[in-house]
Structure 1
Amino acid sequence: MMYSGKLRQFWRIVILFVCVIRSDGLHAQLSGTRISIDFATGSLEGCLLRLQKASALPLAYETSSLPERSVQAAVFKNEKLSSILDYLLTGTGYIYEELHGVIVIRPGAESLPPVRGAYRICGTVKDHSRDLPLAGAAIFVPEYRTLGTFTDSAGTFSFYAPVNHVGLQIRHISFETLDVLAEDKDGTCPTFNMEPAPAGLDVMEIQSRPEPSSISALSKVSPDIRKMSFLPLFCGDVDLLGIIKANPGIQQGNDGSGSLIVRGGAPDQHMVLLDGATLYTSGHLLGLVSSIHAAAVKSADIYKGAFPARFGGRLSSFWDIAMKSGDTRKFHGDLSLGTMASSVMLEVPLVKDKTSLLLAGRRSYHDLYLRWSQPGLQLHFQDLNLKFQHKFSEHDYVYYTGYYSSDVFHSENLIVLNNDESRKHAVTLQTKNQVHVFKWKHIFSDRLITNLSFSTSGYNLKSAYRFESAYYGMTDVVEQGFSTGLNDFVARLSGDYVVSSRHSIGAGVSYTIHSFKPSINTSILFQSIDSAQDPNRSVVDPSLNYETDAYVEDNFEITEKLRINAGLHFNGLKFDTGNSFSIQPRVNLCYQPSGYWSVNLSYVRMSQNLHLLTNNLTSLPSDFWIASSSAIRPQSSDQVSLGISGGATESKYKWSVESYYKWSRHVTELLITDTLFMSTGNNTKLEWEQAITQGKAAAYGLEFLLQKQSGRLTGWLGYTLAWSNRTLPEVNDGLTFPYKYDRRHNVNLVLLYKLGKSIELSSVFTFQSKPRFPVLMFRSDDNSPFTMVFRSLISESIPQPATYHRLDMGISWIKENEHKVKRILNLSIFNVYNHRNPAFYYSGYNIDQTTPVLPDKKDILPFMVALSCRLCF
């Protein structure tokens, strides 16, 4: 490039001036000085001014001639000044050089090679150990300082160079810098694999501009499992479910219910997807622990609203959880031994760079000593994760994911009224889950990727209840049993096409076969323990239903400040006597006027063909799944959400406020009827359609979140102000009433404090306000003798709902050696002040149904201490 004489003269004067005034005491090689600095998204000039103030180093440049370039937010930790300047100046046409103790920034000199050419340099950047595309990786060309770019959402990049081969330097957060040679070779775009940076390595963190596919920032929770690994550990490992529940808009019904409530929805309105297959339970130990081993999780995205078109089949939330694929080069492990449970996770390379196996398993055993602290209570779980991957070529990969879990719960409670009268209750629950996924991924090009998968999901539940009433030497016994199950088979084909770095399109189709196992209620009465009646059985017949889904979605960055995600989801269900069909539009707009401010507006329509029928007389799981039919219409909802997020103090703090309104139709409830609970025949076919009612629901609220993201003290404060109401024409005289999980105020406070390099303190506080007295699911016009008696007995026995609050605390000691082996000793205290949060209530009646027994609440998480030792390598 040629310059005018005046411009040359100007630069000589500037350089001479700064050299004179700063020549004293300056050291050479300033470009190697290490600096820690945070940049907000802004102008190049503003970033250079901030760099000059933060480093106190002499920078010389002419402000009026700097290009008007927007620099994306970035965080540098103990990084060389040269690397920071490379990041700021790449692609601007400006270079820097050190002259007499001064860093001079100026337009590229004539001696530099030209930066335009006809050779296309392209490639894909991946996390090698996880086989995951890396978006936002910085691509530098050291020989041509004016060349460079960033990878897009698919991890791809391309630019044109003056020669057919160049040396590249690739950088990404928490990964080792990669130096490679790239060339224009018949349009072929190679893959560059990056290795995670070892602990203690100085890395450059680049927070790139969000990609179009990630604009659902406010209605989506994406927990960083690595950062949360020092929270109180119930079973020795970070609890994914605990992290999720600590976010606004998400709550647990109560300890022991196993139910998650998202934005006022019902427990059956959220879907857990494990590598794309449905997992029908989200928690172990009645919802106290996540059903998914966090050490085996690669990524987790939880959507509360603004659902992309690829999701369907539920109204309230989706958990999109991807398992690790296993490292194909190095052996890794994560072992944990604790007083509550033990776990293991192993990544085993079978064939280098081609085949790997991941194994992860857990087993709890605290039930062995719970019998001393809480006599009559037993609960334990076990689960196993397996993932196999094989690389046939650069374009073809196959995967297998397997999951199995089992839970056992048993509780006995004895109430002694006097020397001659007593009551004894016993409850037993057993649940099993399994998932199998076979997937083939084919990469047609750096722009088009397809996935073909076949999966199965299985769920089984068995429960039993026994009530003994002893009086004056006589004993009456009532036993009840329940069993149910569900199996799914799914075939799915999907594809993603990257039109450009600002535009991508996705589409897919799936076919599902639902197989509903018989749901059986049994009951038997022993009077005076000697005379037993024949058991009564109520049966829901097995059935098959066929569901078809298709979607298309478009992610488009209209401008640098405005992005849109829009699409359509199509669903059809075939049942015995007919079929149903729905079209569900989705749109999500994100306006980002600056790097720290954004506004999200979304509208989604959802449809759900499956219904979970729950016995409203108990908080324990005793429910079964059914599909929509000619008598039971699919549930549907519309949700609108509006949110604003912002940051302050160099991105150390981030806050968001989001409002939502969701109105639903055909929500389903199971009524309390004699047909359902008082079968008189020895084998009665249950006409469950006669015991179901449908109506409308409305949920709305405000969600507030304040986060501190850096420094010794980090964490977040979340608050939700929410309403959830239902209107069922057959119940409560058709009047609107609060849903049984309606909680007006929900507060979550999570704090982590680094006490030096090797000690980390943590605490989690949860508060849920007292719900209103529940409305019982009786038909308003049902005046049968059974109903009249049951109404009076239940109204006297149901306790007033209680406020829920709990504080958990933990301390972790961390040591890491030169071989990257990390040892973590964690001491956790749960329910620090021993507040009795009821999991469920015991109550019963004399056989003549005249004398109710006062309810007694049962809590399953009292004050408890857990110690665990974890080894990561």
Structure 2
Amino acid sequence: MHKYIILSFLLFAALLSQAQKKVSISGTVTGINSGETLIGASVRVAGIKNSGTITNSYGFYSLSVVPGEYTFIFSYVGYEEVTKRIKVLRDTTLGVALAIKTNLSEVVVHASTQKDIVSSPQMGLIQMDMKQANMVPVIMGERDVLKTISLMPGVKSAGEGNAGFYVRGGASDQNLILLDGAPIYNAAHLFGFFSVFNSDAIKDVSLYKGGMPAQYGGRLSSVLDIKMNDGNNQKTTLEGGLGLIASRLKLEGPIVKNKGSFMLSGRRTYADLFLKLSSDTAVKKSSLYFYDLNVKANYKFNDKNGIYFSGYYGKDQMGVRDLFSLHWSNVAGTFRYNHIFNSRLFSNTYFIYNNYNYTVEQLKNGNEFNLTSKIEDLSFKQDLEYKLNSSHSFKLGASVIHHKIAPGDISSTDSSSFNDQHVQRRYGFETAAYLSDHWKATDRLNVLAGIRLSDMFIVGPGTFTKYNPDGSTISSKDYTSGQLVKSYLNLEPRLSASYRLNDFSSIKLSYNRNTQNIHLLSNSTSSSPNDLYVMSSENIQPEIADQISTGYFRKFKNGQFEFSAELYYKWLQNQIDYKDGAEFIANKEVESQLTYGDGRAYGLELFLKKKYGRLNGWIGYTLSRTERSFAAINHGKYYPARQDRTHDLSIVGIYKLNKRWSFSASFIYGTGNAVSYPTGKYSIGGNTTYSYSERNGYRLPATNRLDIGATLEGKKHKNYQTSWTFSIYNVYASHDPYIITFRDSKTKPNTTEAVETSLFPVPIPSITWNFKF
């Protein structure tokens, strides 16, 4: 495999030496009012068909042309178009600032406009405009990008009270969530009622669910790449909002005008203040809140060098008086050095730190214990982009991540029924190198080809035990600090292609392989203190997914509407689950409780979107199947995974009535999750115990819900602006099931009854006042 990578890099070097005798024009496109870089802005040459490009994730563009005089057109959705007529006789740098349109009388929806839906070879890409996401009605009025993403085809919400999501049959931990390059392991606040992403601090959201580019890796199903605002380098502004359950505040401004800026954004709930109004002493002394803080700063030394720092901290606290306490936190920090070698070569160097930990405390006198778990990463990454000519654009790079995982420690008092115990800490290095080429083969054919080589090194110190499938021990060995225990080398090819049938439609095809070495062990549908993160080991092999997909893409009515239909099939290897009856809380031999198997997922995704006009929105529908097979479960037969839903429908509408009033609504319908129900029961000591037969052999009832919202813009003032956001969650009081439990009937002896619990069985109104100075 190393030979293939070396050969690829030698080929890349040879192509560099044979670059055509052309000159380049390059630069950065920004917003004139804020100085923010514009991701996906269009740059094209007037009069030359298929001559354009788009700015990359950092607002940088590069075009190769034969020396001469040209008219360049710069455009971005919601901004005034700029035309520049210049002579390009040698490599030239041209930065452009665009002004926001002031006469917008319509809402513009542009999920996916950064890459043209017809000509781009990229498949399975969702790009979300934050202005659009902020208009979709959500619970308690809290803007939530993850809830909006889950309204797209191929993406399924993990349900009410859960910020997790499933992509094309994958589990929630098989999504790589990046915040300015830093992985976020738990994206949930308050057990998933809210996500950790404060919309005020976010500039760009991209979700890759198929045809994953080679620069991404480490997860099987998707990459959610979120980038924070850089900050306004022109003037200082203050904005925020006051809601029923939470408030937020953002401050941004220049460090040095036109050279550097900062952004500071915070958010906090005050649900705990309502608890203090209770007459119940236990409730009054309970805690229930979360807060998070986003910070970003940057400084541009000159046209070719700049540094960026991003930071995030979020914490949740829940507890009931002196009974128990639960708290968890996320810390993430990214330092990025950006260097432009020349008009063709663009570089980013990253140093990244992230830490996720949770603690559960049992405070009841005589039975005190403390359960903690932690995962900590330190990363280095180098990315390069090289524009060879108008036909070839390369990306290449390498990364190394040091993982440290403490799956679970329990400490207790002498009088506690628990003994001090812990699951051993594990250490590892995850390395990768990649190379990709966006090749414009012809006017009709575009190809994105890439290869990624990943290697996982598990190292000591620690005791590592091999287990038989029945959980019995094969061998056990002690390793010293840094000693190699096991390594896994994997080659991950990626290939996507689009063929343009005409100016309005195309067909696409993609194949990609992904591997995953960090695994979440969970027995619940939402984030839980019982969840354990583990690394690949001698027993746990890297998870592997191979996915093929094909689709038809079309624009019509002058680009006002877009339609896509995508088919996919995914093979999953080395999937992990608990055995039936497994003991998993602080189990020193947790790997003995695991079983390994395969999976498959396949489906059809339909998407129709209206982009322009007073009424905008989309309709998304997914028909799919997701199954797993484990030798120790259901006698090795395939069974539905808990995220399997046959039908998933979402309808979103946004209507701009006039300059002040906007209305929105969203409707969802989905097949109920697969669940396991008891098939028998028996009594032991007067207590009823239930027995189960097959895994996930039953279904929860189907879910459906309608949410509506409205935004009223305040009258325009010279120094400030305000708006009011109103929403109603679950308008017609749908009783979507959160969980179904079984119990002995209190009125009918020897009878078992099912009890359905719904989190929000009534409409939930909300109102938020937003301001900006």
TM-score above 0.5: yes
Aligned to 1:769: 671
Which secondary structure does the structure 2 equivalent of 1:792 belong to? Answer: strand
The one-character-per-residue Cα deviations of 1:654-680 (angstroms, maximum 9, x if unpaired) are 221111111101111123546546xxx
The one-character-per-residue Cα deviations of 1:457-502 (angstroms, maximum 9, x if unpaired) are 11112346899xxxxxxxx999886431100000011100011233
Aligned to 2:330: 433
Residues 136, 155 of structure 1: 8 Å contact kept: no
Deviation at 1:441, TM superposition (A): 0.7
Question: 75, 79, 104: which one pairs with 1:175?
Answer: 79
Q: 2:680 matched to 1:752?
A: no
Aligned to 1:402: 311
Measure the CA separation in 2 of the matches of 1:541 and 1:453: 30
Which secondary structure does the structure 2 equivalent of 1:268 belong to? Answer: helix
Q: 2:722 matched to 1:823?
A: yes
Measure the CA separation in 2 of the matches of 1:428 and 1:798: 35
Residues 798, 855 of structure 1: 8 Å contact kept: no
Question: Equivalent pairs: percent with the same residue?
Answer: 28
Residues 119, 446 of structure 2: 8 Å contact kept: no
Aligned to 1:542: 425
Q: Which structure would you say has the larger RCO, counting Cα contacts within 8 Å and 6 or more residues apart?
A: 2
Aligned to 1:86: none
The one-character-per-residue Cα deviations of 1:40-71 (angstroms, maximum 9, x if unpaired) are xxxxxxxxxxxxxxxxxxxxxxxxxxxxxxxx
Aligned to 1:416: none
The one-character-per-residue Cα deviations of 1:420-452 (angstroms, maximum 9, x if unpaired) are xxxxx9886422101010110110011101111
Distance 1:172 1:263, change over 3 A: closer
Q: 2:380 matched to 1:491?
A: yes
Residues 797, 843 of structure 1: 8 Å contact kept: no
Deviation at 1:366, TM superposition (A): 3.7
Aligned to 1:7: none
Which secondary structure does the structure 2 equivalent of 1:226 belong to? Answer: helix
Question: 654, 659, 670: which one pairs with 2:578?
Answer: 670
Aligned to 1:556: 439
Aligned to 1:291: 196
Which secondary structure does the structure 1 equivalent of 2:733 belong to? Answer: coil
Aligned to 1:610: 518
Deviation at 1:403, TM superposition (A): 0.3
Distance 1:248 1:373, change over 3 A: farther
Mean CA deviation greater in 540-549 or 360-369? 360-369
Residues 751, 764 of structure 1: 8 Å contact kept: yes
Measure the CA separation in 2 of the matches of 1:687 and 1:348: 52
Q: 2:391 matched to 1:502?
A: yes
Pairs within 5 Å for 1:9-408: 122-128=25-31, 129-132=35-38, 135-138=41-44, 150=52, 153=55, 154-157=60-63, 159=65, 172-176=76-80, 178=82, 187=90, 189-200=92-103, 210=115, 215=120, 217-234=122-139, 236=141, 238-369=143-274, 379-408=288-317
Which secondary structure does the structure 2 equivalent of 1:689 belong to? Answer: helix
The one-character-per-residue Cα deviations of 1:490-542 (angstroms, maximum 9, x if unpaired) are 00111000112332000010011000024135799xxxxxx965324552111
Residues 349, 382 of structure 2: 8 Å contact kept: yes
Letter in 1 for 2:423: V
Letter in 2 for 1:652: Q
Question: 319, 335, 356: which one pairs with 1:459?
Answer: 356
Aligned to 2:471: none
Residues 720, 747 of structure 1: 8 Å contact kept: yes
Question: 861, 867, 870: which one pairs with 2:760?
Answer: 861
What is the alpha-carbon root mean square deviation over aligned residues? 4.1
Letter in 1 for 2:769: C
Measure the CA separation in 2 of the matches of 1:193 and 1:485: 45
- Can you give the 5+ residue segments of structure 2 that lack an aligned partner in the other structure? 1-20, 460-484, 679-683, 745-749
Q: 2:488 matched to 1:580?
A: yes
Measure the CA separation in 2 of the matches of 1:283 and 1:515: 21
Measure the CA separation in 2 of the matches of 1:669 and 1:125: 48
Which secondary structure does the structure 2 equivalent of 1:222 belong to? Answer: strand
Distance 1:813 1:675, change over 3 A: closer
Aligned to 1:689: 591
Deviation at 1:611, TM superposition (A): 1.0
Deviation at 1:811, TM superposition (A): 1.0
Aligned to 2:453: 570
Measure the CA separation in 1 of the matches of 2:743 and 2:507: 53
Measure the CA separation in 1 of the matches of 2:579 and 2:155: 27
Residues 213, 565 of structure 1: 8 Å contact kept: no
Q: 2:726 matched to 1:802?
A: no
Deviation at 1:595, TM superposition (A): 2.9
Which secondary structure does the structure 2 equivalent of 1:155 belong to? Answer: strand
Which secondary structure does the structure 2 equivalent of 1:500 belong to? Answer: coil
Aligned to 2:507: 599
Measure the CA separation in 2 of the matches of 1:852 and 1:392: 75
Measure the CA separation in 2 of the matches of 1:697 and 1:548: 26
The one-character-per-residue Cα deviations of 1:179-222 (angstroms, maximum 9, x if unpaired) are 7785668x45233231332422799x999995799835540110
Pairs within 5 Å for 1:665-744: 665-673=573-581, 675-676=583-584, 686-744=588-646
Measure the CA separation in 1 of the matches of 2:693 and 2:48: 77
Which secondary structure does the structure 1 equivalent of 2:217 belong to? Answer: coil
Residues 497, 504 of structure 1: 8 Å contact kept: yes
Letter in 2 for 1:175: Y
Deviation at 1:823, TM superposition (A): 2.4
Mean CA deviation greater in 666-675 or 833-842? 833-842
Residues 325, 356 of structure 1: 8 Å contact kept: yes
Residues 212, 556 of structure 1: 8 Å contact kept: no
Measure the CA separation in 2 of the matches of 1:194 and 1:374: 58
Which secondary structure does the structure 2 equivalent of 1:286 belong to? Answer: helix
The one-character-per-residue Cα deviations of 1:530-569 (angstroms, maximum 9, x if unpaired) are x965324552111211111111111011112110111111
Letter in 2 for 1:814: E
Deviation at 1:161, TM superposition (A): 6.9
Residues 695, 726 of structure 1: 8 Å contact kept: yes
Aligned to 2:10: none
Aligned to 1:422: none
Distance 1:534 1:160, change over 3 A: closer
Residues 271, 319 of structure 1: 8 Å contact kept: yes
Deviation at 1:225, TM superposition (A): 1.4
Aligned to 1:444: 341
Measure the CA separation in 2 of the matches of 1:374 and 1:228: 39
Residues 367, 415 of structure 2: 8 Å contact kept: no
Measure the CA separation in 2 of the matches of 1:216 and 1:789: 58
The one-character-per-residue Cα deviations of 1:683-736 (angstroms, maximum 9, x if unpaired) are x86111111111001111111112122222211111111111111011222121
Deviation at 1:236, TM superposition (A): 4.7
Q: Aligned residue pairs: how many? A: 704
Residues 402, 437 of structure 1: 8 Å contact kept: yes
Which secondary structure does the structure 1 equivalent of 2:42 belong to? Answer: coil
Aligned to 1:833: 732
Aligned to 2:561: 653
Letter in 2 for 1:259: G
Deviation at 1:229, TM superposition (A): 2.7
Measure the CA separation in 2 of the matches of 1:177 and 1:253: 41
